[in-house]
Amino acid sequence: MANKRGKQYQSASKLIENRPYELEEAITLVKKLKFAKFDETVEVHMRLGVDPKHADQMVRGTVVLPNGLGKSKTVLVIASGEKMREAEEAGADFVGGEDMVHRIQTENWLGFDAVIATPDMMRSVGRLGKILGPRGLMPNPKTGTVTMEVGRAVKEIKAGKVEFRVDKTGIIHAPVGKVSFAQGSLLENASSLIQAVVKAKPAAAKGKYVRSVTLCSTMGPGVAVDVTPFNTRAL
């Protein structure tokens, strides 16, 4: 069967040695291998030694990347009273209450990247579960998106807060910046994400926790990263 990958992808793949690279080395290679005409996103993919079918092995959390993501997220806040004004002052793009819930329900409106809600609005927001849930947009106390501190939550998301969650195959996929970022900025961001995932290791997880780490750009091939430092918490 012929390789369906493009010539540029195949050429880039040939520059990757069949070995794991140190994180900094992998970032250098990913930046070198970029070939798309747009500013590609750099992504980290971590395969973990957990079984997400068991609730006590679920890995989920957030991390504020020190150098952001290169693009400010569009934030919707669903709140009431003074909290609406607080959200607006913090820079939220859309602020409302029942009107926003109604708009999403009736228009299937999804013109935002993140949703923050105050606890008193969650009864209404709960009706949006089937729309927001599959897209990873449902507010959740564990990720700080159901909170009375809406101003702080808005600022963190705008600054580059990333949510990570293990999928059903035991893998975490998360962005850590753009290929145009400086080497050091990408290294800091990727290190921050990996450290956050390591700290989120469930007590029920047995054996090797970080099984593999792959770094890649949106269109580029994956580069294997040496996982030894992550399993010894030496990062």
pLDDT of 208 > 60? The answer is: yes
**What tens digit of pLDDT does each residue of 127-183 get?**
999 999 998 899 999 889 999 999 999 999 998 888 899 999 999 999 999 999 999
Query: Phi-psi region for residue 193, left (φ > 0), alpha (ψ -120 to 50) or beta?
Result: alpha
Q: 210-217 and 223-225 as β-strands: parallel, antiparallel, unpaired? A: antiparallel
pLDDT tens, position by position, 41-81: 999 999 999 998 999 999 989 898 999 888 788 999 999 99
pLDDT of residue 231: 82
Instruction: Please choose, from the candidates 10, 7, 15, the residue with its C-alpha nearest in 3D space to the C-alpha of residue 32.
Output: 15
pLDDT digit string, tens, across residues 224-234: 999 998 886 54
- Confidence (pTM): 0.76
Predicted confidence at residue 232, as pLDDT, reads 66
Alpha-carbon distance of 166 to 53, in angstroms, equals: 10
Level-2 CATH architecture, domain 18-68+161-231: 2-Layer Sandwich (3.30)
Kind and range of the H or E run holding 206: none
pLDDT at 123: 95
Domain boundaries, the chain: 18-68+161-231, 75-158
pLDDT at position 9: 79
Q: How would residue 15 be classed by pLDDT, with cut points 50, 70 and 90?
A: confident
Architecture of the domain whose range is 75-158? 3-Layer(aba) Sandwich (3.40)
Distance CA 188, CA 176 (A): 9
Q: What pLDDT, on a 0 to 100 scale, did the predictor assign at position 205? A: 87
For residue 235, is pLDDT > 90? no
Instruction: Answer yes or no: are the C-beta atoms of 191 and 215 closer than 8 Å.
Output: no
